[in-house]
Copies of this chain bind each other. A is one copy, B any other.
């Protein structure tokens, strides 16, 4: 059995987006993405749940300081995504469709670079309370 403990931190951001594939014509985009393809955009309150697993430090009893984890998420994710148009304002999605799946993978890649390799990382993203994704899938 793993001796690792996982710590989770939840943050949120609001953003506009539109789902479409620029290589397809309008009819195909409408057929695949439906009302999510509104060219004027729609939006969501995204809830972001970041999971970091490791062995608690003997001196502090912390896997890592949650305040530090929260600050990392704020600096590297919320500053870039919050109150933005994902398609137009966020460079990661210049050529990538901002589905929940792709947003989660992007956030994982961003945070992976900020965390010591001794930690395991997983990202869960709620697009609505009824639709959410997780990467990597457990």
Contact-size category for A = 35 or more
Assuming the contacts A35-B83, A66-B131, asked whether A105 and B15 have C-beta atoms less than 8 A apart, the reply is no
> Is there an interface contact between B34 and A67, defined as CB atoms closer than 8 Å?
yes
Complexed CA–CA distance, A60 and B36 (Å): 12
Minimal beta-carbon separation of A133 from chain B (angstroms): 5
Q: Which residues of B contact A128 (CB under 8 A)?
A: 12, 14, 45
> Is there an interface contact between A41 and B44, defined as CB atoms closer than 8 Å?
no
Known: A7-B131, A10-B129, A33-B60. 17 other contacts (CB 8 A): A3-B136, A5-B134, A6-B133, A6-B138, A9-B130, A14-B128, A15-B42, A17-B43, A19-B61, A34-B67, A35-B83, A36-B83, A38-B85, A42-B83, A44-B44, A60-B97, A62-B101
